[in-house]
């Protein structure tokens, strides 16, 4: 009996409500004995179930079936070029704007970028990019980059996607991502050839490295875009 079988057995007991939500299940030692495996094997199985959100584990308190067995899903953050090519379409990028200036307040706030009044606020590299699939607008990208992470001279972002350059060259530690539905608006609508009122799927991402903010990105996807995953 391997750890996957142990996990399956425990899972089935949870689903059959033999171990109901909120209930305490036997300790690792007891389960190991019952299943005839080493304790580490049970530990591995329960750790996986805990990661999936089906049980909650606490030292001394033991393992409980989650009161509300929340489902946890994982998805890969799309890399646009790969995404387009996976659909069998031709990928192309067009750099619409590139300038060094101070970012909007909302961007600075999200990144924790100094926003103290007037001149004190630092400049960032602002990029506006249109991603094309088979020549048609696929996504519109607004990005602000911390100049400190860029070499001098900086990469030619008209030729290299900023995202791909970053993942390959800038170590980063974490960030956050948010999804929402918005109207395209004037600026993006014009760039993508959409009515400003068109509902669009928007992804916003902040990334930090060891030495502070790296980049802020807002991706507006063309109508029809669906983010899918398996649970």
For residue 57, state whether it binds DNA (rule: CB under 7 A).
Answer: yes
Q: Based on CB atoms, which residue is closest to its own copies, 68 or 120?
A: 68
Number of Cβ within a 10 Å radius of residue 164: 14
Cα end-to-end distance, the chain, whole Å:
25
Give the rounded distance of the alpha carbon of 2 from its chain centre. 32
Which option in its own copies, DNA, none does residue 39 bind, with CB closer than 5 to 8 A by kind?
DNA
Residue number with CB closer to its own copies (35 or 225): 225
Q: If binding is defined by CB under 7 A, does position 28 make contact with DNA?
A: yes
Residue of 46, 145, 162, 214 interacting with DNA (CB under 7 A)? 46
Judge contact between 167 and 149, C-beta under 8 A: no
Contact call for residues 62 and 103 (beta carbons, < 8 A): no
Residue 98, judged by CB atoms within 10 A of its CB (0-12, 13-18, 19+), counts as middle
Q: Nearest approach, Cβ of 41 to DNA (angstroms)?
A: 4
CA distance 105 to 186: 19
Closest to 104 (Cα-Cα) out of 90, 123, 87? 123
Nearer to DNA, 72 or 228 (CB): 72
Task: Please give the Cα distance from 190 to 152 (Å, whole number).
Answer: 33
Sketch the per residue contact string, 172 through 211, with its own copies: x for CB under 8 A, - otherwise.
x-xxxxxxxxxx-------------x-xxxx--x------
Which of 48/128 has CB closer to its own copies? 48
Instruction: Give the nearer residue to its own copies in terms of CB position, either 66 or 121.
Output: 66
Is 87:79 a contact under the CB 8 Å cutoff? no
27 forms part of the interface with DNA (CB under 7 A): yes
Of 141, 157, 43, 40, the C-alpha closest to 100 is 157
- Binding-site size for DNA (CB under 7 A) equals 25
Q: Which of 1, 2, 18, 21 binds its own copies (CB under 8 A)?
A: 21
Residues near its own copies (CB under 8 A) are: 12, 15-17, 21, 53, 68-77, 79, 82, 164, 167-169, 171-172, 174-183, 197, 199-202, 205, 221, 223, 225-231
Residues near DNA (CB under 7 A) are: 1-4, 27-29, 36-41, 43-44, 46-47, 50, 57-63
């Amino acid at each position: 009996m391997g750890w996957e079988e142990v996990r399956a057995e425990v899972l089935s007991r949870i689903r059959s409500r033999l171990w109901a939500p909120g209930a305490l299940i036997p300790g690792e030692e007891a389960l190991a004995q019952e299943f005839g495996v080493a304790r580490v094997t049970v530990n591995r199985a329960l750790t996986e179930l805990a990661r999936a959100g089906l049980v909650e584990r606490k030292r001394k308190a033991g393992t409980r079936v989650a009161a509300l067995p929340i489902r946890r899903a994982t998805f890969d953050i799309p890399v646009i070029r790969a995404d387009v090519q996976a659909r069998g379409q031709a990928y192309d990028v067009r750099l619409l704007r590139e300038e060094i200036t101070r970012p909007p307040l909302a961007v600075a706030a999200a990144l924790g970028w100094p926003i103290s009044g007037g001149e004190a606020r630092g400049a960032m590299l602002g990029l506006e990019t249109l991603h094309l699939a088979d020549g048609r607008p696929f996504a519109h990208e607004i990005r602000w980059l911390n100049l400190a992470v860029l070499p001098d001279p900086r990469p030619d972002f008209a030729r290299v996607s900023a995202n791909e350059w970053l993942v390959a060259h800038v170590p980063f530690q974490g960030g956050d991502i948010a999804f929402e539905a918005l109207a395209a608006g004037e600026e993006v609508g014009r760039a993508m050839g959409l009515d400003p009122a068109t509902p669009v799927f928007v992804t916003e991402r902040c990334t930090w490295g060891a030495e502070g903010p790296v980049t802020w990105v807002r991706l507006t996807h063309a109508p029809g875009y669906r983010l899918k995953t398996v649970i």
